């Protein structure tokens, strides 16, 4: 069985050889393949190392930790990295005379020293996050215009992508939609190539983007779930080695999707404008040489399609082609994503002049204190705390209570008790909590055109349905009785109930008064 992708089955901790997302700040993310180095790497004695503006982080400190952990920077020599200083002219002459066999030393293999254990630095930290399609979209290397989260989340719901769906994607580009669609259709890794599992069939025309995308799919362990093909979808269609992918969901991120739509037909297109590209068997010998028509769509399901076009002229031509080819339920949607930022706002009178208006930490110690406060509150509300964590918290609370009891309180001293509202409040909790829209709105990305191609309905399908649900032998049809007949049937039913009540009345009991008799007709 193939190693599961960290996008689908991440596990509780990071492992060597898998992808991780390093978060420097909210919008600054770095994708990183973790390497387990046993020797020095690139001159670093600690092995493979990630260098950021917050410090250096050897990969050994990033492996085997829980997702979401805070990783402190390490003390790493980023200057010399094992290089020797430049010799003077006199030293060079002495070295030449003392080493006559310099060529032999040059050809000798270099022996790498074992990796050193990383030493924690005094400042700087990052967070290591589990890779998700959303984080990958924010951190991936852009080769083309990518499909962002607001768009592909809506697209996947509209084309009904679910576990087990076989999906066609034309225009892989940077792979943003590919990773999101794999997560949507994933229902396990196939044991064989012919096993009907959820799969994404991706097509890319550009050779450079195809090769880079192929490397990413392999490094992310998605090889069995993504079938990547280097092909021009306009001319080559969507078959895989001449066989049908049996897809029921299609996403076209192409400049001219109307040229690729004829390949997504259940039968050979017969419109006059497609006569040159798809000749019929009766016209010439070329069609006979091409063989019978093979549709890339699943014959037993309706196909749901979405096209991604930035211009309205592309939308018009695409919809015209859809109508000629039999697509129905055509709809166009434009996504407008607006992010809401939540922050604390303080008035200038209460804000010291040396501090910025937003309550930002002064130093690393204050930032770490804020994070520890957040982690403490998370532990308090976490129902799955370990016993060791509970004991540690209880011991810390007991020690704090004992220290407070041993030191007498000075009522005349001006300390936190006297000015609790002004000095005891944490700086990140001061101010009024407000929210506002982001300054730069990400409005128009592209127009999304949705359509549905119904499945073909043959005489054999009709016979199979009639055999399962017979039709024509019904004894009664709801709604076929007129109003007068319904009233008569209701009077008869009420009369029977009245006779039953009178028959059940004991002997000698008086009949109910006239005003208590239930009328026959309601």
Tens of pLDDT, residue by residue over 493-520, are: 999 999 888 887 666 666 555 555 545 5
Question: What is the Cα–Cα distance from 189 to 505, expressed in whole angstroms?
Answer: 73
Amino acid 440: pLDDT: 74
Amino acid 469: pLDDT: 87
Residue with tokens 């030191």: 407
Q: What is the DSSP string of 171-234?
A: --TTSHHHHHHHHHH-S---SSTTS---EEEEEE--HHHHHHHHHHHHHTT-TTTEEEEE--HH
Can you give the length of the chain in residues?
A: 522
Question: What is the Cα–Cα distance from 8 to 184, expressed in whole angstroms?
Answer: 10
pLDDT beyond 90 at 337: no
Contacts of 22 (CB under 8 A, 6+ apart): 29, 30, 31, 32, 50, 52, 57, 62, 126, 127, 128, 129
User: What residue ranges define each of the domains in the chain, with the CATH number in brackets?
Assistant: 1-78+114-131 (3.10.330.20), 135-327 (3.40.50.150)
pLDDT beyond 50 at 410: no
- For 160-174, 181-195, 348-362, which range has the lowest pLDDT when averaged over its residues? 348-362
Percent of the chain with pLDDT over 70: 71
Question: What is the Cα–Cα distance from 204 to 504, expressed in whole angstroms?
Answer: 83
Q: What is the mean pLDDT of the chain?
A: 80
Which residue has better confidence, 245 or 87? 245
- Looking only at the bridges linking them, the beta strands covering 249-252 and 303-309 are parallel
Cα–Cα distances (Å) from 144 to 122, 148, 250, in that order, read 40, 12, 20
What is the band of 475 on the pLDDT scale with cuts at 50, 70, 90?
Answer: low
Question: What is the Cα–Cα distance from 12 to 325, expressed in whole angstroms?
Answer: 49
Amino acid 321: pLDDT: 94
- For 258-262, 268-272, 319-323, 427-431, which range has the lowest pLDDT when averaged over its residues? 427-431
Paired strand residues for 343:
434
Q: Is the dihedral of CA 404, 407, 409, 412 positive or negative?
A: negative
Question: What is the Cα–Cα distance from 186 to 164, expressed in whole angstroms?
Answer: 6
> Do residues 344 and 433 make contact, with C-beta atoms less than 8 angstroms apart?
yes
Per-residue pLDDT tens over the stretch 177-231: 999 999 999 998 888 777 788 999 999 999 999 999 999 999 999 998 999 999 9
Q: Is 43 left (phi over 0), alpha (psi -120 to 50) or beta?
A: left
3-state SS, residue 135: helix
What is the band of 449 on the pLDDT scale with cuts at 50, 70, 90?
Answer: very high
Residue 307's Cβ-count burial label (10 Å; 0-12, 13-18, 19+) is buried
Which residue has better confidence, 365 or 88? 365
Q: What is the pTM of this model?
A: 0.70
């Amino acid at each position: 069985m193939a190693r599961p992708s960290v996008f689908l089955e991440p596990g509780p901790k990071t492992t060597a050889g898998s992808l991780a997302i390093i978060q420097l700040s909210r919008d600054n993310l770095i994708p990183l393949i973790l390497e387990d180095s046993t020797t020095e790497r690139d001159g670093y004695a600690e092995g493979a190392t990630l260098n950021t503006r917050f410090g250096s982080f050897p990969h050994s400190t990033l492996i085997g930790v829980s997702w979401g952990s805070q990783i402190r920077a390490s003390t790493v020599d980023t200057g010399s990295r094992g290089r020797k200083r430049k010799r003077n002219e006199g030293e060079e002459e002495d070295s030449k005379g003392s080493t006559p066999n310099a060529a032999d030393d040059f050809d000798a293999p270099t022996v790498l020293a074992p990796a050193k254990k990383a030493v924690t630095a005094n400042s700087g930290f990052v967070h290591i996050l589990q890779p998700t399609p959303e984080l990958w979209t924010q951190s991936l290397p852009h080769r083309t215009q990518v499909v962002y989260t607001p768009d592909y989340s809506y697209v996947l719901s509209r084309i009904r992508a679910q576990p087990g769906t076989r999906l066609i994607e034309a225009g892989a580009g940077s792979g943003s939609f590919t990773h999101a669609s794999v997560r949507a259709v994933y229902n396990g890794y196939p044991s064989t190539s012919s096993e009907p599992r959820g799969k994404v069939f991706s097509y890319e025309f550009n050779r450079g983007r195809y090769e880079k995308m192929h490397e990413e799919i392999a490094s992310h362990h998605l090889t069995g779930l993504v079938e990547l093909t280097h092909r021009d979808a306009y001319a080559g269609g969507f078959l895989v080695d001449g066989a049908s992918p049996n897809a029921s969901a299609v996403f076209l991120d192409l400049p001219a999707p109307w040229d690729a739509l004829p390949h997504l037909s259940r039968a050979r297109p017969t419109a006059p404008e497609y006569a040159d590209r798809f000749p019929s068997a009766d016209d010439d010998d070329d069609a006979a040489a091409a063989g019978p028509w093979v549709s890339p769509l699943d014959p037993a399901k309706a196909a749901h399609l979405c096209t991604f076009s930035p211009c309205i002229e592309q939308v018009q031509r695409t919809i015209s082609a859809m109508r000629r080819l039999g697509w129905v339920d055509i709809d166009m949607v434009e996504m407008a994503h607006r992010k809401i930022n939540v922050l604390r706002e303080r008035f200038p009178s209460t804000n010291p002049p040396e501090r910025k208006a937003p309550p930002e930490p002064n130093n690393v110690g204050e930032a770490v204190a804020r994070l520890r406060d957040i982690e403490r509150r998370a532990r308090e509300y976490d129902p799955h705390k370990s016993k060791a964590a509970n004991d540690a918290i209880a011991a810390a609370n007991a020690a704090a209570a004992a220290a407070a009891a041993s030191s007498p309180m000075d009522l005349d001293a001006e300390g936190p008790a006297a000015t609790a509202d002004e000095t005891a409040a944490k700086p990140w909790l001061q101010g009024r909590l407000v929210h506002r829209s982001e300054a730069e709105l990400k409005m128009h990305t592209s127009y999304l055109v949705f359509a549905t191609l119904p499945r073909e309905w043959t005489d054999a399908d009709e016979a199979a349905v009639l055999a399962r649900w017979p039709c024509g032998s019904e004894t009664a049809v709801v709604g076929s009785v007129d109003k007068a007949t319904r009233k008569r049937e209701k009077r008869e039913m009420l009369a029977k109930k009245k006779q039953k009540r009178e028959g059940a009345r004991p002997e000698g009991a008086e009949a109910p008064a006239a005003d208590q008799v239930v009328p026959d007709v309601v």
